[in-house]
Amino acid sequence: MKYFDPHIHMSSRTTDDYINMYNSGIRAVIEPAFWLGQPRTHAESFDDYFQSITGWEPFRASQFGIRHFCAICLNSKEANNEEMAEKVMEMLPRYLEKDNVVAVGEIGYDDMTDLEHRYFKQQLELAKEMQMPVIIHTPHRDKKNGVKATIDLINDVGIDQDLVIIDHNTEETLPLVLETDCWAGHTIYPRSKMDSDRMAHLVKEYGTKKIIVNSSADWGVSNPLAVPYTADVMRKEGISEEDIHKVMWLNPIELYSKSGAFTAEELEEEIEFDQSVLFEGNSVLRGQSPEVRKNS
Protein backbone atom coordinates (compact mmCIF):
# COMPACT_ATOMS: atom_id res chain seq x y z
CA MET A 1 0.00 0.00 0.00
CA LYS A 2 1.14 3.53 -0.75
CA TYR A 3 1.31 6.04 2.10
CA PHE A 4 1.44 9.81 2.36
CA ASP A 5 3.04 11.38 5.43
CA PRO A 6 1.56 14.89 5.34
CA HIS A 7 3.63 16.31 8.18
CA ILE A 8 7.31 15.43 8.49
CA HIS A 9 10.41 17.65 8.72
CA MET A 10 12.67 15.81 6.29
CA SER A 11 15.47 18.35 6.28
CA SER A 12 16.12 17.14 9.83
CA ARG A 13 16.26 13.50 8.72
CA THR A 14 18.83 11.25 7.05
CA THR A 15 19.06 9.41 3.76
CA ASP A 16 18.57 6.15 5.71
CA ASP A 17 15.15 7.51 6.68
CA TYR A 18 14.30 8.20 3.05
CA ILE A 19 15.32 4.65 2.09
CA ASN A 20 13.31 3.09 4.94
CA MET A 21 10.32 5.29 4.19
CA TYR A 22 10.36 4.32 0.52
CA ASN A 23 10.69 0.64 1.41
CA SER A 24 7.72 1.00 3.80
CA GLY A 25 5.51 2.41 1.04
CA ILE A 26 5.77 6.17 1.63
CA ARG A 27 5.63 7.95 -1.71
CA ALA A 28 4.80 11.53 -0.76
CA VAL A 29 5.53 13.84 2.16
CA ILE A 30 4.76 17.40 3.25
CA GLU A 31 7.35 19.37 5.20
CA PRO A 32 5.72 22.25 7.08
CA ALA A 33 8.02 25.16 7.87
CA PHE A 34 8.85 25.18 11.57
CA TRP A 35 11.40 26.35 14.10
CA LEU A 36 14.78 24.69 14.26
CA GLY A 37 14.93 23.84 17.97
CA GLN A 38 16.36 27.25 18.77
CA PRO A 39 15.14 30.68 17.69
CA ARG A 40 16.58 32.18 14.53
CA THR A 41 18.21 35.55 15.03
CA HIS A 42 17.97 36.93 11.47
CA ALA A 43 14.97 37.13 9.15
CA GLU A 44 17.27 36.11 6.30
CA SER A 45 17.72 32.72 7.98
CA PHE A 46 14.06 32.08 7.17
CA ASP A 47 14.74 33.02 3.59
CA ASP A 48 17.47 30.39 3.20
CA TYR A 49 15.36 27.84 5.06
CA PHE A 50 12.45 28.46 2.68
CA GLN A 51 14.88 28.15 -0.22
CA SER A 52 16.02 24.82 1.14
CA ILE A 53 12.58 23.24 1.59
CA THR A 54 11.43 24.48 -1.82
CA GLY A 55 14.71 23.60 -3.57
CA TRP A 56 17.29 21.16 -2.28
CA GLU A 57 15.00 19.01 -0.13
CA PRO A 58 12.52 18.12 -2.92
CA PHE A 59 15.49 17.27 -5.13
CA ARG A 60 17.02 15.10 -2.38
CA ALA A 61 13.69 13.32 -1.76
CA SER A 62 13.24 12.65 -5.47
CA GLN A 63 16.55 10.75 -5.48
CA PHE A 64 14.84 8.25 -3.19
CA GLY A 65 11.56 7.99 -5.10
CA ILE A 66 9.57 10.23 -2.76
CA ARG A 67 7.63 13.36 -3.71
CA HIS A 68 8.40 16.22 -1.36
CA PHE A 69 5.94 19.06 -0.86
CA CYS A 70 6.11 21.73 1.79
CA ALA A 71 4.17 24.41 3.64
CA ILE A 72 5.52 27.92 4.22
CA CYS A 73 4.88 30.24 7.14
CA LEU A 74 6.09 32.23 10.09
CA ASN A 75 5.81 29.69 12.92
CA SER A 76 4.13 30.58 16.18
CA LYS A 77 7.19 30.49 18.44
CA GLU A 78 9.15 32.91 16.28
CA ALA A 79 6.12 35.15 15.74
CA ASN A 80 7.03 36.53 19.15
CA ASN A 81 10.03 38.38 17.68
CA GLU A 82 8.10 41.26 16.12
CA GLU A 83 10.89 42.93 14.16
CA MET A 84 11.90 39.66 12.54
CA ALA A 85 8.29 38.54 12.07
CA GLU A 86 7.43 41.61 9.99
CA LYS A 87 10.26 40.85 7.57
CA VAL A 88 9.30 37.19 7.30
CA MET A 89 5.67 38.08 6.59
CA GLU A 90 6.84 40.09 3.57
CA MET A 91 8.60 37.02 2.16
CA LEU A 92 5.63 34.67 2.36
CA PRO A 93 3.63 35.38 -0.84
CA ARG A 94 6.68 34.76 -3.01
CA TYR A 95 7.35 31.37 -1.43
CA LEU A 96 3.71 30.32 -1.31
CA GLU A 97 3.71 30.36 -5.11
CA LYS A 98 6.68 27.98 -5.42
CA ASP A 99 6.19 24.71 -7.26
CA ASN A 100 6.14 22.29 -4.32
CA VAL A 101 4.27 24.49 -1.83
CA VAL A 102 0.87 23.10 -0.87
CA ALA A 103 -0.12 25.10 2.20
CA VAL A 104 0.44 27.89 4.69
CA GLY A 105 1.82 26.26 7.79
CA GLU A 106 2.38 25.16 10.38
CA ILE A 107 0.89 28.23 12.04
CA GLY A 108 -1.12 28.50 15.25
CA TYR A 109 -0.69 29.19 18.92
CA ASP A 110 2.21 28.21 21.16
CA ASP A 111 2.25 30.42 24.28
CA MET A 112 -0.96 32.08 23.04
CA THR A 113 0.51 35.61 23.14
CA ASP A 114 -0.86 38.72 21.41
CA LEU A 115 1.87 38.59 18.77
CA GLU A 116 1.15 34.93 18.04
CA HIS A 117 -2.50 35.86 17.62
CA ARG A 118 -1.69 38.75 15.27
CA TYR A 119 0.48 36.74 12.89
CA PHE A 120 -1.72 33.64 13.09
CA LYS A 121 -4.66 35.81 11.99
CA GLN A 122 -2.69 37.54 9.23
CA GLN A 123 -1.55 34.22 7.81
CA LEU A 124 -5.08 32.79 7.90
CA GLU A 125 -6.17 35.86 5.95
CA LEU A 126 -3.31 35.31 3.48
CA ALA A 127 -4.36 31.67 2.98
CA LYS A 128 -7.95 32.78 2.46
CA GLU A 129 -6.88 35.33 -0.13
CA MET A 130 -4.63 32.83 -1.95
CA GLN A 131 -7.10 29.93 -1.61
CA MET A 132 -4.40 27.76 -0.06
CA PRO A 133 -4.78 24.98 2.51
CA VAL A 134 -3.56 25.81 6.02
CA ILE A 135 -1.84 23.54 8.55
CA ILE A 136 -2.58 24.61 12.12
CA HIS A 137 -0.37 23.44 14.93
CA THR A 138 -2.15 23.12 18.26
CA PRO A 139 -0.26 23.91 21.47
CA HIS A 140 1.51 21.23 23.46
CA ARG A 141 0.38 22.94 26.67
CA ASP A 142 -3.25 23.85 27.39
CA LYS A 143 -4.21 22.07 24.17
CA LYS A 144 -7.99 22.01 24.55
CA ASN A 145 -8.24 25.77 25.11
CA GLY A 146 -5.79 26.28 22.25
CA VAL A 147 -8.03 24.31 19.92
CA LYS A 148 -11.09 26.29 21.02
CA ALA A 149 -9.28 29.60 20.43
CA THR A 150 -8.07 28.30 17.05
CA ILE A 151 -11.60 27.44 15.93
CA ASP A 152 -12.84 30.87 17.08
CA LEU A 153 -10.15 32.56 14.98
CA ILE A 154 -10.92 30.43 11.92
CA ASN A 155 -14.56 31.50 12.21
CA ASP A 156 -13.55 35.12 12.74
CA VAL A 157 -11.38 35.18 9.58
CA GLY A 158 -13.99 33.33 7.59
CA ILE A 159 -11.64 31.06 5.63
CA ASP A 160 -13.27 28.03 4.00
CA GLN A 161 -12.94 25.36 6.71
CA ASP A 162 -12.46 22.68 4.07
CA LEU A 163 -9.03 24.25 3.44
CA VAL A 164 -7.97 23.99 7.07
CA ILE A 165 -6.35 21.13 8.97
CA ILE A 166 -6.11 21.36 12.75
CA ASP A 167 -3.21 19.12 13.72
CA HIS A 168 -1.88 17.14 16.67
CA ASN A 169 -5.33 16.14 17.96
CA THR A 170 -6.02 13.92 20.95
CA GLU A 171 -9.15 12.20 22.26
CA GLU A 172 -10.04 15.47 24.02
CA THR A 173 -9.74 17.77 21.01
CA LEU A 174 -10.95 15.60 18.11
CA PRO A 175 -14.68 15.94 18.91
CA LEU A 176 -14.28 19.75 18.88
CA VAL A 177 -12.65 19.68 15.44
CA LEU A 178 -15.20 17.24 14.03
CA GLU A 179 -17.95 19.70 14.91
CA THR A 180 -16.40 22.02 12.29
CA ASP A 181 -15.76 21.38 8.59
CA CYS A 182 -11.98 21.42 9.18
CA TRP A 183 -9.73 18.41 8.68
CA ALA A 184 -8.37 16.66 11.77
CA GLY A 185 -4.66 15.77 11.88
CA HIS A 186 -3.13 13.30 14.32
CA THR A 187 0.56 12.99 15.08
CA ILE A 188 1.83 9.61 16.18
CA TYR A 189 4.58 10.16 18.72
CA PRO A 190 6.83 7.37 20.03
CA ARG A 191 5.87 7.99 23.64
CA SER A 192 3.49 10.86 24.20
CA LYS A 193 0.20 12.50 23.25
CA MET A 194 -1.03 10.03 20.60
CA ASP A 195 0.12 6.54 19.69
CA SER A 196 -0.83 4.03 17.00
CA ASP A 197 -3.18 1.98 19.17
CA ARG A 198 -5.12 5.03 20.28
CA MET A 199 -5.24 6.24 16.67
CA ALA A 200 -6.77 2.95 15.56
CA HIS A 201 -9.41 3.30 18.23
CA LEU A 202 -10.20 6.86 17.12
CA VAL A 203 -10.77 5.65 13.54
CA LYS A 204 -13.03 2.88 14.86
CA GLU A 205 -15.01 5.38 16.91
CA TYR A 206 -15.19 8.34 14.53
CA GLY A 207 -14.69 6.81 11.05
CA THR A 208 -12.38 8.09 8.32
CA LYS A 209 -14.00 11.29 7.11
CA LYS A 210 -11.50 14.18 7.27
CA ILE A 211 -9.13 12.13 9.45
CA ILE A 212 -5.42 12.43 8.67
CA VAL A 213 -2.40 10.77 10.32
CA ASN A 214 1.22 11.96 10.29
CA SER A 215 4.54 11.43 12.03
CA SER A 216 5.72 15.04 12.52
CA ALA A 217 9.16 13.43 12.66
CA ASP A 218 11.88 16.03 13.10
CA TRP A 219 15.22 16.49 14.90
CA GLY A 220 13.74 15.16 18.14
CA VAL A 221 12.83 11.64 19.21
CA SER A 222 10.32 10.67 16.55
CA ASN A 223 9.51 7.93 14.06
CA PRO A 224 9.54 8.69 10.32
CA LEU A 225 7.76 5.36 9.76
CA ALA A 226 4.86 6.23 12.08
CA VAL A 227 2.34 6.34 9.21
CA PRO A 228 2.98 2.83 7.81
CA TYR A 229 3.43 1.50 11.34
CA THR A 230 0.04 2.87 12.38
CA ALA A 231 -1.51 1.40 9.24
CA ASP A 232 -0.26 -2.02 10.38
CA VAL A 233 -1.75 -1.51 13.83
CA MET A 234 -5.05 -0.49 12.25
CA ARG A 235 -5.01 -3.71 10.17
CA LYS A 236 -4.48 -5.79 13.28
CA GLU A 237 -7.40 -3.96 14.87
CA GLY A 238 -9.59 -5.11 11.98
CA ILE A 239 -9.89 -1.80 10.12
CA SER A 240 -10.44 -2.41 6.40
CA GLU A 241 -7.80 -1.79 3.72
CA GLU A 242 -10.19 0.66 2.11
CA ASP A 243 -10.43 2.74 5.27
CA ILE A 244 -6.68 2.65 5.84
CA HIS A 245 -6.11 3.74 2.24
CA LYS A 246 -8.50 6.63 2.71
CA VAL A 247 -6.84 7.91 5.89
CA MET A 248 -3.24 7.32 4.84
CA TRP A 249 -3.39 8.30 1.14
CA LEU A 250 -6.67 9.65 -0.23
CA ASN A 251 -7.49 12.14 2.53
CA PRO A 252 -4.21 14.08 2.41
CA ILE A 253 -4.41 14.08 -1.38
CA GLU A 254 -7.94 15.46 -1.30
CA LEU A 255 -6.95 18.27 1.05
CA TYR A 256 -3.59 19.32 -0.37
CA SER A 257 -4.45 18.97 -4.06
CA LYS A 258 -6.68 22.01 -3.42
CA SER A 259 -3.43 24.01 -3.57
CA GLY A 260 -3.08 23.27 -7.29
CA ALA A 261 0.48 21.97 -6.76
CA PHE A 262 -0.43 18.41 -7.76
CA THR A 263 -3.33 16.24 -8.82
CA ALA A 264 -4.44 12.85 -7.51
CA GLU A 265 -3.57 11.29 -10.90
CA GLU A 266 -0.03 12.66 -10.80
CA LEU A 267 0.55 11.13 -7.39
CA GLU A 268 -0.59 7.70 -8.53
CA GLU A 269 2.38 7.61 -10.89
CA GLU A 270 5.67 6.51 -9.34
CA ILE A 271 8.68 8.82 -9.66
CA GLU A 272 11.38 7.47 -11.91
CA PHE A 273 14.56 7.72 -9.95
CA ASP A 274 18.05 6.67 -10.77
CA GLN A 275 20.61 7.31 -8.11
CA SER A 276 23.31 6.03 -10.44
CA VAL A 277 22.90 9.32 -12.31
CA LEU A 278 24.55 10.89 -9.29
CA PHE A 279 26.70 7.94 -8.38
CA GLU A 280 29.95 9.40 -9.57
CA GLY A 281 29.54 12.78 -8.04
CA ASN A 282 29.36 14.81 -4.92
CA SER A 283 25.75 13.82 -4.53
CA VAL A 284 23.37 12.43 -1.99
CA LEU A 285 25.04 9.07 -2.46
CA ARG A 286 28.56 10.04 -1.42
CA GLY A 287 29.96 7.09 -3.35
CA GLN A 288 27.52 4.45 -2.10
CA SER A 289 25.78 1.87 -4.27
CA PRO A 290 22.99 3.38 -6.31
CA GLU A 291 19.44 2.16 -6.67
CA VAL A 292 17.67 2.36 -10.01
CA ARG A 293 13.90 2.27 -10.49
CA LYS A 294 12.28 3.02 -13.82
CA ASN A 295 8.62 2.87 -14.77
CA SER A 296 7.99 0.13 -17.28
Partner 1 sequence: MNLCKNLESIARKYSEAAPRNNTFWSSFDTLDDLSLNEFMTLSAAAPRRLGRKTVEFTEEEQNILQGIHPTLTTQTPGNLGRVLLAAKVQSPECVEEMIIRGGDDEQAAVVIALNLRDDAAVYKDKVVHACRTNSTIVHGAVSQDNPYPAKYFDDQAFKQLVIKTIFMGLDFDKITNLESRFNGELGQSLTDFFDERKAAGRWLPDSVLKFMKNKGLLK
Interaction site with partner 1 (CB under 8 A)? 47, 51, 54-56, 59, 90, 93-95, 97-99, 260-261, 276-284
Closest to partner 1 by CB, 90 or 205? 90
Q: In the bound complex, what is the minimum distance in angstroms from residue 260's beta carbon to partner 1?
A: 5
Q: Which is nearer to partner 1, 176 or 278 (CB)?
A: 278
Q: Can you list the alpha helix ranges (DSSP code H) found in the chain?
A: 15-23, 43-54, 56-62, 82-96, 114-130, 143-157, 174-178, 196-206, 226-236, 241-245, 251-256, 264-268
Output 43 or 261, the one with its CB closest to partner 1.
Answer: 261
| Nearest CB to partner 1, comparing residues 147 and 285 | 285
Q: Which is nearer to partner 1, 214 or 259 (CB)?
A: 259
Q: How far is the CB of 57 from partner 1 (least distance, A)?
A: 11
- DSSP, collapsed to helix, strand or coil, labels residue 70 as strand
The sign of the dihedral angle between the CA atoms of 159, 188, 108, 53 is negative
Distance CA 261, CA 102 (A): 6
Calculate ∠ Cα 264-272-249, nearest 5°.
Answer: 30
User: How far, in Å, are 93, 174, 202 from residue 238 at the CA level?
Assistant: 44, 22, 13
Phi, psi of 10, deg, nearest 5: -65, -25
User: In 3-state terms, what secondary structure has residue 264?
Assistant: helix
- With contact defined as beta carbons under 8 Å apart, do 119 and 74 qualify? yes
Q: In angstroms, what is the minimal distance from the CB of 284 to partner 1?
A: 8
Cβ of residue 269: shortest distance to partner 1, in angstroms?
12
Minimum Å gap between C-beta 122 and partner 1 is 17
Q: Which residues pair with 183 in a beta bridge?
A: 165
Q: How far is the CB of 220 from partner 1 (least distance, A)?
A: 27
Q: Return the number of the residue (155 or 263) whose C-beta is nearest partner 1.
A: 263
| 15 residue type, one letter | T
φ, ψ (nearest 5 deg) of residue 293: -140, 120
1 vs 277, which CB is nearer to partner 1?
277
Q: How far is the CB of 217 from partner 1 (least distance, A)?
A: 23
From CA 230, how far away is CA 243, in angstroms rounded? 13
